[in-house]
Amino acid sequence: MKKISRRSFNTKLSQGIAGTAIIGSVGLGYGFSPRKEKKKLGIALVGLGSYSGGQLAPGLQDAEHCYLAGIVTGTPAKEKEWMAKYNIPKKNVYNYENFDSIAKNPDIDIVYVVLPNSMHAEFCIRAAKAGKHVICEKPMAVSVAECDAIINACNEAGVKLSVGYRMQSDPYTNEIKRLVKEKPYGSVRYVSSDAGYISRGNPDQWRLNHALSGGGALMNMGVYSIQSNIYGTGQNPVSVSAQEFSSKPEYFKDTDETITAQMEFPEGVVGNLFTSHNANANRLFVSFEKGWAELNPCHSYGPLSGRTSNGKEIKFPHQSQQKLQMDDFAKHIMLGTTNYAPGEMGKRDMIIVEAIYRSIKEGGKRIPLDLGDMGIVRE
């Protein structure tokens, strides 16, 4: 498995540090069964970029079942900043070289990997070997093989695994799931999801570097479209066909700019997918036999908005999706409640991603999928 060093990815690519075999069984018992007297589980964020700073850390300040206990960063200035801002003790601060010693720290129950996509597998596996439960930011990895490696490592270590699919804990998402399940408008016949934004500024950002991202719009916003088409039908697709185009090839030199795909679901249900790094798109539309439901905006941090064909507004009080997501996983660990975004869901989505890229490579060819109920969470 090729690895890329987090310390130097902003300046140049270099070989990642080998860490997947450093820790043996240290802390496995603790990682699998946190001390029962704990009322909140401690989370360590690995990677202190904009998502950690702008969404995850603030969400943890209001969480009921978990809290920000530690950080992992390769930037000394960020160590001091975060320690002061969030009252994090020095003993809970790690870098990418001493990360494996987190196994000895009882304050850390969960490691949340928030690194460039190509580094997810390495640090998820190292976290599992350190006996810590794992949240892996989406997409789970850059290949199905890496997803399998993460799942196997967590199973072998006896720790829990979740993917950072914040929308799975969002009330708007769950209202669409309810309409699909209870069928007040009949069965779903068509679903469409659009997810994208206009990428501006630095053309050297890691998301436009295939070695770090594993892909472009599809590996970023496109995962949301895949997710919402699936929960918008309650089923996994049985085939996919896809096309790619670019209107700014001088900017999107290394990754896909815009992708469209057609998804076939069981019983003749059809779906469309659109994702782009060069267009703002943020919508889910579900057409039933006797009506429709729409979320617009759908994938952003909120507040979201929705409506149905009978004139009803879909509306819930705004909450941090990240807070809800991390609380749900903490409850899963402590109380045995549902894991709304298990590793198998992340692997399923990567199977679909690989099929989309294959279809594009083969001129839009229909690619059959044999997913069954893989990754579908039944409550």
* Residues with active-site annotation: 138, 224
CA dihedral angle for residue 261, residue 266, residue 270, residue 275, rounded to 10 degrees: -30
**Per-residue 3-state assignment (H helix, E strand, C coil) for the chain:** CCCECCCCCCCCCCECCCCCCCCCCCCHHHHHCCCCCCCCEEEEEECCCHHHHHHHHHHHHHCCCEEEEEEECCCHHHHHHHHHHHCCCHHHEECCCCHHHHHHCCCCCEEEECCCHHHHHHHHHHHHHCCCEEEECCCCCCCHHHHHHHHHHHHHHCCCEEECCHHHHCHHHHHHHHHHHHCCCCCEEEEEEEEEEECCCCCCCHHHCHHHHCCCHHHHCHHHHHHHHHHCCCCCCCEEEEEEECCCCCCCCCCCCEEEEEEECHHHCEEEEEEECEEEEEEEEEEECCEEEEECCCCCCCCCCEEECCCCEECCCCCCHHHHHHHHHHHHHHHCCCCCCEHHHHHHHHHHHHHHHHHHHCCCCCEECCCCCCCCCCC
- Tokens representing residue 130 in the block: 């350190």
Q: How far is Cα 203 from Cα 94, in angstroms, rounded to an integer?
A: 30
Residue 1's Cβ-count burial label (10 Å; 0-12, 13-18, 19+) is middle
Distance of alpha carbon 262 from alpha carbon 242, whole angstroms: 6
Alpha carbon distance 32, 279 (integer Å): 43
The number of angstroms, rounded, from the C-alpha of 117 to the middle of its chain's C-alpha atoms is 10
| Chain-centroid distance, C-alpha 231 | 15
